[in-house]
Amino acid sequence: MMNPNELSSLANHEVKNNSSYLPKGLHQVKMTSYDFVEPKGGCPYLSFTVKDENDRQATLRLYREREGDKPEVIAFKRDKLKQLLEAAGADFKIKDPGKFMNTALNNPFQIVLRDEEFIGYNGELNNKPEVRTMVKYVFAEPIVNQFGEQIEVNVQDKYTFKPLQEDDRKRFEFELSEWKSKNGDNDSPKKESNTSSKQEKEIEDDDLPF
């Protein structure tokens, strides 16, 4: 089980977000589906859909081990995936992968999501750099502990918002300055591809049956 006071050391995993999706904060949810994904040329991952009682949802993407990962990255992946599945009530005595994953479905548990800033580029404004916000998964906890006691998660503001890191803030200011030098204050739309700069850290586990 994870200590909420250790949240500052966690990496986060992307979740989709709009008005029908869960916002930042603490939520009680159930896992409704999962999928093993192996993108061509990319890192394999597990995609989990969770929903709250109002049918708002979050899609959590947790990355799997791949060739070339450093031992500390592999250990981190394993710990993160195991921690989520433990919170979701998966039965680790079951060694059949499909049956094991199904034991995590439809059990109530808690998740924390946070707003995290990143640098994006507005293709309608000549790829103008912008600070954008995406909701990301932080960690999960069961509803009760092994003794049947309810687990209360103390969620502070610093756990639900992550601003740009200092290096990224400086890069944004530099890129915006460069954009203004080329475009002035002209924000007239121009069709170009829209790109964004994001990094995702990854997860996995030895005790898992796959």
Residue 11: which CATH number?
A: 2.40.50
Does the pLDDT at position 129 exceed 70?
yes
Amino acid at 167: D
* 48 belongs to a structural domain: yes
- In the block, tokens 């008005």 appear at 19
Q: Which residue has the higher pLDDT, 190 or 65?
A: 65
* 169 belongs to a structural domain: no
Does the pLDDT at position 42 exceed 60?
yes
Q: Look at residue 191 in the predicted model and tell me its pLDDT.
A: 40
* 170 belongs to a structural domain: no
Q: Look at residue 154 in the predicted model and tell me its pLDDT.
A: 84
Does the pLDDT at position 14 exceed 70?
no
* 147 belongs to a structural domain: yes
Q: Look at residue 123 in the predicted model and tell me its pLDDT.
A: 94
Residues whose CB falls within 8 Å of the CB of residue 5, separated by 6 or more in sequence, listed in order = none
* 168 belongs to a structural domain: no
Does the pLDDT at position 85 exceed 80?
yes
Question: Distance between CA atoms of 209 and 82, rounded to whole angstroms?
Answer: 11
* Backbone CA torsion sign across 104, 19, 12, 201: positive
Q: Look at residue 199 in the predicted model and tell me its pLDDT.
A: 35
Lowest-confidence pick of 25-29, 38-42, 45-49, 51-55: 38-42
Q: What percent of the chain has pLDDT over 90?
A: 60
Does the pLDDT at position 127 exceed 90?
yes
* 179 belongs to a structural domain: no
Buried b / exposed e across 18-28, counting CB within 10 Å, b at 16+? eeeebebebbe
Q: Look at residue 116 in the predicted model and tell me its pLDDT.
A: 94
Does the pLDDT at position 206 exceed 90?
no
Does the pLDDT at position 5 exceed 90?
no
CA dihedral 106, 108, 110, 114 (to 10 degrees): 40
What confidence tier does 202 reach under pLDDT thresholds 50, 70, 90? very low
* 72 belongs to a structural domain: yes
Q: Look at residue 1 in the predicted model and tell me its pLDDT.
A: 42
Q: Residue range 21-42: average pLDDT?
A: 92
* 123 belongs to a structural domain: no
Q: What percent of the chain has pLDDT over 70?
A: 79
Total structural domains in the chain?
1
Q: Residue range 110-129: average pLDDT?
A: 95
Question: What is the residue range of 97's domain?
Answer: 4-117+134-162
Task: Report pLDDT digits (tens) over 149-201.
Answer: 999 998 888 889 999 999 999 999 999 999 999 998 666 554 433 333 333 33
What confidence tier does 110 reach under pLDDT thresholds 50, 70, 90? very high
